[in-house]
Structure 1
Amino acid sequence: MDTVSAVSLVKERLGIRTNVRDSYLTAIVEGVIKELEDEKGLVLDGANSYHLLFVCDYATWRYQSVSSTQTTSASRPLPMPRHLQYRLHNLMIHSGSGGA
């Protein structure tokens, strides 16, 4: 998975035009990819635009949920939105988590 392309798309989605947050956004994207591959068992294909867009959307949510002022009563980030949960579930089914 090309992290440079993913970071570029995340920046577009967030409306960020400078390079000031690139290292932070790169760390988030790399963390998301590592989580999906190592913890969820997904085999991500960098040429698959569905995979790339999911990584971007997940990283964008990660970025926004940490910096959001809207938190639960225990000061934890908001839970993952349903559309991301649904897409992650579908990726795990269709991408063959656990080795096909």
Structure 2
Amino acid sequence: MDEGQLLELLKLKLGISTNLRDKPLQKIISGVIAELKENLGVTLDSSRADHEMFVVDFAAYRYEGGVDIPRHLQWRLHNLQVSSNSKEEK
């Protein structure tokens, strides 16, 4: 995945226009991608916009410091896990 592009999308979502928070945001994006792949078993495809937008939305949730994961993120994560597992079984 192009983390530079993901960073720009995340900054747009959060309303950040300066580069002052780029390093922490890059770490959050990297952490989200690693967690999805290693801990949650999601196979990300950089050619799919829905995968990229999920990473951006999940990183925004992490940045904002939410305690409970929003329902829409839970639902989308579950769908990603199911689709990743079905592709691995084939």
Q: By the TM > 0.5 criterion, same fold?
A: yes
**Amino acid paired to 2:34:** K
Do structure 1's residue 95 and structure 2's residue 84 form an aligned pair? yes
**Contact between 1:10 and 1:60, CA under 8 Å: does it hold in 2?**
yes
The alignment's TM-score, normalised by the length of structure 1, stands at: 0.83
Partner residue in 1 for 2:31: 31
Q: Deviations over 1:14-57 (max 9, x none)?
A: 11000000000000000000000000111101110000000000
**Over aligned residue pairs, what C-alpha RMSD do you find?**
1.5
Percent sequence identity over matched residues? 45
Structure 2: stretches of 5+ with no match in the other structure: none
Q: Which has the larger radius of gyration?
A: 1
- Which of structure 1's runs of 4+ aligned residues deviate more than 6 A? none
Structure with bigger helix share is 2
